[in-house]
Structure 1
């Protein structure tokens, strides 16, 4: 039985700032994020199933990522808990996402991994994540290293 890795790419828009940072990222700014989700496992061998040969239906993976990640982060302002007064921003944002960490690519990846791993079907595991903050800057997360 072959082990297969399957990857799907997702995109979302979000803003953030890095509280106390000594550079430009201390200012509120936005990114066009690209998230690559790679899962691993063995494809179905049930010849009676129309999903025979699939590790996971791309549609199901899309649904999981949409519900667990995109519905939270897309068009959101991501901030560290306590970095802003949510009441002051309430008229300007309906999606203020307060996180228990600086909202960097590096910190977002383990958070994303935890949210996805608990929603994957039996026999499908998260292998890796790659999050592009810009066209030329990204961070990666691998399950085997965490």
Structure 2
């Protein structure tokens, strides 16, 4: 059977700040992110399976990505937990804001590494995560490919 790639796209709004950066992005700001998740696999051949002909049901992929990424990152502010921004993060949390503290600089590149780990931990073993694309602005995006990380 042929290998097929399928892609599901997601949108979410997230704020962040890049501690130590030498430009405007050191300030707290946000982006309208567009995340494309591509998996690869063989369509199910069992005609009695309700998912017959699918690599994975788009709905099932949506549940994984929404649970692990979109629902957590949407309208949250992400800070590296090892920077002075942590004081601001705690103050925002006290005021009821959604804050995520991570072990990395919250760039698109590092967010993709995090997202790949989260998705890989949840997708069925019958399929593989092929690639991720995180668009930060209308003209800027980062990509992660499994083949580059083997």
TM-score range, shorter chain: over 0.9
Q: Which runs of 5+ in 2 are unaligned?
A: none
Across the aligned residues of Structure 1 and Structure 2, the Cα RMSD in angstroms comes to: 1.1
Tell me the secondary structure at the aligned position of residue 106 of structure 2: coil
- Give 1:94's match in structure 2, choosing from 74, 94, 97: 97
49-58 or 38-47, which moves further after superposition?
A: 49-58
- After TM superposition, the structure 1 = structure 2 runs for residues 68-87 of structure 1, keeping only pairs within 5 Å, are 68-83=68-83, 84-85=86-87, 86-87=89-90
| 140 and 93 in structure 1: CA distance in 2 versus 1, 3 angstrom threshold | farther
List, as ranges, runs of 4+ consecutive aligned residues in structure 1 with deviation greater than 4 Å. none
| 1:4 matched to 2:4 | yes
Between the aligned partners of 1:64 and 1:93, the Cα distance in structure 2 is 26
- After TM superposition, the structure 1 = structure 2 runs for residues 1-146 of structure 1, keeping only pairs within 5 Å, are 1-83=1-83, 84-85=86-87, 86-146=89-149
Compute the TM-score of the two structures, normalised by the length of structure 2.
0.93
**What is the aligned length?**
146
Compute the TM-score of the two structures, normalised by the length of structure 1.
0.96
78-87 or 19-28, which moves further after superposition?
A: 78-87
Cα distance, 1:93 vs structure 2: 4.5
Cα distance, 1:34 vs structure 2: 0.2
Between the aligned partners of 1:114 and 1:133, the Cα distance in structure 2 is 20
